Amino acid sequence: MLFRQLFDAETSTYTYLLADEATREAALIDPVLEQVERDLKLVSELGLKLVLVLETHVHADHITGAGVLREKTGATVVASGQGAPCVDRKVVHGDVVRLGGLEVKVLETPGHTDDSLSFLCEGRLFTGDALLIRATGRTDFQNGDPGQLYDSITGHLFTLPDETGVYPGHDYAGHAMSTIGEEKRHNPRLAGKSRDAFITFMKNRQIPPPKRLDVAVPANRACGRVVEPPQAQA
């Protein structure tokens, strides 16, 4: 598998490029609108064809590049049916999305948002904002639920092999990747913590909302394409 990790410094967002080296078919996970030209240039330079855009969830902190990439390349946008109505293929837990000869397994990991998915491909786990490195996504908007997030992480992600690579949707501390075993041992919100302790910790956090929450969520429900309000009928 051809693999690249890309970063948007403005929003600390990771975008991932996966491709089948034989068929040259490529997928982008969680592209950022402002980085679409960078991503398309890389796809072109590597001799790839973008066929899939995978979204882990409806983001609140940046606008997705999914809609623009779909227009420019014809790629299929894949996400949960619980989230944005604009997606082409709505997937559920256990679905397999094919990328050439590669298989991307879909895991429903709600709790950060109700539509959150993780994707597993060839030993790499793309966790969106469910499991971050030494942290987790927040649970205080978009139908977030700390108990549900605890269950998603401990019930689905932490049951994967310890050596599984963890590739999150964001990092704010300079980390690029981790492993399931490392997070089980060292994630301060989860290692040795009960479900009740996790819920209490998450509910007691006092953090400001993301700066672009009011703009990003409506835009992302339209795959990042800003929809003009309909003209009033004469």
Which of residues 95 and 140 has its CB atom nearest to Fe ion in the complex?
140
Stretch that binds Fe ion, among 103-111, 125-133, 185-193, 223-231 (CB under 5 A): 125-133
Is there binding between residue 145 and Fe ion (CB under 5 A)? no
As measured in angstroms, the least distance from the Cβ of 59 to Fe ion is: 5
Question: Among 156, 152, 155, 163, which Cα is nearest to 185's?
Answer: 163
Which of residues 129 and 183 has its CB atom nearest to Fe ion in the complex?
129
Contacts (CB under 5 A) with Fe ion, residues 45-84: 59
CA distance 123 to 214: 35
As measured in angstroms, the least distance from the Cβ of 129 to Fe ion is: 4
Measured at CB, which residue is nearest to Fe ion? Answer: 129
Residues in contact with 82: Cβ distance below 8 Å, sequence separation at least 6, in sequence order: 110, 114, 115
Is there binding between residue 129 and Fe ion (CB under 5 A)? yes
CA distance 117 to 55: 8
CA atoms within 13 A on the CB side of 98: 3
Is there binding between residue 108 and Fe ion (CB under 5 A)? no
Which of residues 50 and 117 has its CB atom nearest to Fe ion in the complex?
117
Question: Among 213, 13, 37, 21, which Cα is nearest to 100's?
Answer: 21
CB 128 within 8 A of CB 88: no
Residue ranges binding Fe ion (CB under 5 A): 59, 129
